Amino acid sequence: MEYVYSILILVGIYVVLASSFNLIIGKAGLVSIAHPIFFALGAYTSGLLAIHFGLNPFAGAAAGAAVAGVFSLMISLPSLRVSGDYLLITSIGFQLGLLQVIKNLELTGSQGGLSNIPTPIAGPQRGWVFSAVALAAAAATVLLIRWIVRGPYGRAINAMRDDELAFVALGRDATRIKIVIFAVGCALAGVAGAIYAFYFQYLSPDQFEILASGTMLTMVVVGGMGSTWGPVVGAVLLLALPQAITFLRLPLSYMAPLQGMIFTLLVIVFLFLRPQGLVAPEPPAPLRHKKP
Amino acid sequence: MSAVLQLEGICKRFGGIVVADDITLDLERGQILGLIGPNGAGKTSLFNIITGVVPADAGDIRVNGESAAGRGVHERARMGIARTWQNMRLFRTMTVLENMVVAPRQYAGESMARLCFRPAAVRRADGEACEQAAAILERMQLGHLADSAVTDLPYGQQKLVGLARALMNDGPCLLLDEPMAGVEGHAYETMRAVVRQEAQAGRAVCVVEHNISFIKDLCTSAVFMSAGRILERGRIADLLASKTLAELYFGT
Amino acid sequence: MFDPAVLAQIFWTGLATSSYMVLFTIAFALVLKVMKLWNFAQAGMMAIAFYAMYAAVNRFAWPTAAAVVFGFAIALAATLAFEIWGLRTLRARRSSSLLFFIFTLVCSEFAAYVLTLAFGTEPVPLFPEILSPVRLVGQIAVSDWDLLGVGMTLVLGTALALYLRFSRDGQFLLAVSDNAELAELYGISAKRVYLVTFSIATVFVCAGMYLYGSRTAVIPTAPLQLMLFAVIATLLGGMGSVTGGAAAAVALSLLQSYSVLVIPSRWQGLILYVFLFVTILFFPGGVRRGFKGA
Choose from A168, A170, A289 for mutation: most chain B CBs within 10 A: A170
Does residue B74 sit in helix, strand or coil? helix
Residues making up chain C, counted from first to last: 294
Report DSSP letters for C121-149, one per residue: SS-B-SSS-----EEEETTEEEEHHHHHH
- pLDDT of amino acid C291: 40
B90 in A contact zone (CB under 8 Å): yes
Report DSSP letters for B90-143, one per residue: --TTSBHHHHHHT-SSS-GGG-HHHHHH-HHHHHHHHHHHHHHHHHHHHHTT-G
Which H or E run includes B154? none
Facing residue for A153 by CB, picked from B72, B83, B112: B112
Predicted TM-score (pTM) above 0.95: no
Report how far residue A7's alpha carbon sits from residue C11's, in angstroms, rounded to the nearest whole number: 53
CB distance A142 to A19 below 8 Å: yes
From the CB of residue C88, how many other CB atoms can be counted at a distance below 10 Å? 13
Task: Identify the residue with better confidence: A241 or A52.
Answer: A52
- Mind listing the pLDDT tens digit for each residue in B63-109? 999 999 889 999 999 999 999 999 999 999 999 999 999 999 999 88
How many distinct helices (H) and strands (E) make up chain B?
A: 10, 10
pLDDT for residue A252 is more than 80: no
CB distance C43 to C108 below 8 Å: yes
From the CB of residue A254, how many other CB atoms can be counted at a distance below 10 Å? 14
CB distance B34 to B207 below 8 Å: yes
- Mind listing the pLDDT tens digit for each residue in C16-69? 999 999 999 999 999 999 998 999 999 999 999 999 999 999 999 999 999 999
pLDDT for residue C125 is more than 80: yes
Q: Do chains C and B touch (3 or more CB pairs under 8 A)?
A: no
Query: Can you say whether the dihedral through the CA atoms of B162, B163, B164, B169 is positive or negative?
Result: positive
CB distance A113 to A196 below 8 Å: no
C101 in A contact zone (CB under 8 Å): yes
Nearest Cα neighbor of B112 from A118, A207, A178 is: A178
State how far residue B72 is from chain A, nearest Cα, in angstroms: 9
pLDDT for residue A33 is more than 80: yes
pLDDT for residue B252 is more than 60: no
Chain A to chain B Cβ contacts (< 8 Å) = 113
- pLDDT of amino acid A243: 79
Mean pLDDT in chain B?
90
* Closest residue in chain A to residue C264, using alpha carbons only: A104
- pLDDT of amino acid C294: 28
* Closest residue in chain A to residue C275, using alpha carbons only: A93
ipTM, two decimals, is 0.93
List phi, psi (to 5°) of B148. Answer: -80, 150
Nearest Cα neighbor of C102 from A151, A268, A219 is: A268
Query: Can you say whether the dihedral through the CA atoms of A202, A205, A207, A212 is positive or negative?
Result: positive
B210 in A contact zone (CB under 8 Å): no
pLDDT for residue B243 is more than 90: no
Q: Determine, for residues C277 and A275 on separate chains, whether the beta-carbon distance falls below 8 Å.
A: no
Choose from A264, A265, A266 for mutation: most chain C CBs within 10 A: A264
Residues of C in contact with A257 (CB under 8 A): 113-114, 116-117
Q: Determine, for residues B89 and A172 on separate chains, whether the beta-carbon distance falls below 8 Å.
A: no
Q: Determine, for residues A100 and C270 on separate chains, whether the beta-carbon distance falls below 8 Å.
A: yes
Facing residue for A88 by CB, picked from C101, C117, C225: C101
Chain A to chain C Cβ contacts (< 8 Å) = 114
Facing residue for C273 by CB, picked from A25, A33, A96: A96
From the CB of residue A252, how many other CB atoms can be counted at a distance below 10 Å? 6
Nearest Cα neighbor of B50 from B173, B172, B165, B160 is: B173
Which H or E run includes B228? none
List phi, psi (to 5°) of B233. Answer: -145, 155
Facing residue for A159 by CB, picked from B72, B83, B102: B102
Interior angle at CA C144, CA C143 and CA C148, nearest 5 = 120
CB distance A1 to A202 below 8 Å: no
- Comparing A189-198, A253-262, C217-226, which segment has the lowest mean pLDDT? A253-262
- pLDDT of amino acid A284: 62
pLDDT for residue A205 is more than 60: yes
Report how far residue C128's alpha carbon sits from residue B38's, in angstroms, rounded to the nearest whole number: 72
* For residues B188-210, average pLDDT: 93
Nearest-10 crossing angle of helices A252-273, A210-223: 40
Q: Determine, for residues A254 and C117 on separate chains, whether the beta-carbon distance falls below 8 Å.
A: yes
pLDDT for residue C289 is more than 90: no
A285 in B contact zone (CB under 8 Å): no
Q: Determine, for residues C102 and A221 on separate chains, whether the beta-carbon distance falls below 8 Å.
A: yes
Task: Identify the residue with better confidence: C65 or C225.
Answer: C65
Interior angle at CA B69, CA B109 and CA B66, nearest 5 = 80
List phi, psi (to 5°) of B19. Answer: -100, -20
pLDDT for residue C293 is more than 60: no
- Mind listing the pLDDT tens digit for each residue in A54-75? 899 999 999 999 999 999 998 8
- pLDDT of amino acid A288: 58
Q: Determine, for residues A170 and B169 on separate chains, whether the beta-carbon distance falls below 8 Å.
A: yes
B98 in A contact zone (CB under 8 Å): yes
Report how far residue A170's alpha carbon sits from residue A177's, in angstroms, rounded to the nearest whole number: 14
- pLDDT of amino acid C272: 80
pLDDT for residue B247 is more than 80: no
- Mind listing the pLDDT tens digit for each residue in B110-166? 999 999 999 999 999 999 999 999 999 999 999 999 999 999 999 999 999 999 999
- pLDDT of amino acid C186: 81
- pLDDT of amino acid C110: 93
pLDDT for residue A9 is more than 60: yes
Report how far residue C33's alpha carbon sits from residue C200's, in angstroms, rounded to the nearest whole number: 13
- pLDDT of amino acid A200: 94
The amino acid at residue A73 is: L
pLDDT for residue C259 is more than 60: yes
**HSE of A198, CA atoms in CB hemisphere, 13 A:** 32
- Mind listing the pLDDT tens digit for each residue in A75-106? 898 888 766 677 888 888 889 889 989 998 88
* b (16+ CB within 10 A) / e for A114-128: beebeebeeeeeebe
- pLDDT of amino acid A83: 65
- Comparing A139-143, A187-191, B32-36, which segment has the lowest mean pLDDT? B32-36
